[in-house]
Amino acid sequence: MVFNKILRLKNIKDKSMGELINMCSNDGQRMFEAAAMGSLLAGGPVVAILGMVYNLIILGPTSLLGSAVFILFYPAMMFVSRLTAYFRRKGVAVTDKRVQKMNEILNYIKFIKMYAWVKA
């Protein structure tokens, strides 16, 4: 993913090394989350059905109430996950701005030191 992003950049000189590293770390985090949660998507429904059957055998019909409450909380979990993704995107934008500003400050300090504009 990150290599495609880097290749699609019109001018790589506009991006600093810190911004490229930030892109790589964000994509790496997304890949990790996809690998960790991807298996749950495939086996989740089967485990849920087997768990409901097991609870029905052990606890009786009362377990269906607990399962219904569990299923009713799925929309709330989806809302919270979308809200988390929204704030993560906002955080990435702020981090990019911060990295860019710090890179500019360091370049200006290097520039001032290089031309000896500061009295030693």
Confidence of residue 93 (pLDDT cuts 50, 70, 90): confident
| DSSP string covering 29-89 | HHHHHHHHHHHHHHHHHHHHHHHHHHHHHHH-TTHHHHHHHHHHTHHHHHHHHHHHHHHHH
Whether the pLDDT of residue 16 is over 80: the answer is no
In the three-class reduction of DSSP (H, G, I as helix; E, B as strand; rest coil), residue 118 is classed as coil
- Other Cβ atoms within 10 Å of 26 Cβ, number: 19
Q: Mind listing the pLDDT tens digit for each residue in 98-115?
A: 888 988 899 888 888 888
Q: Rounded to the nearest 10 degrees, what angle do helices 17-59 and 63-72 cross at?
A: 160
Nearest to 20 by CA among 32, 33, 8: 8
Mean pLDDT score, 3-18: 68
Per the CB < 8 A criterion, the answer to whether 1 and 27 are in contact is yes
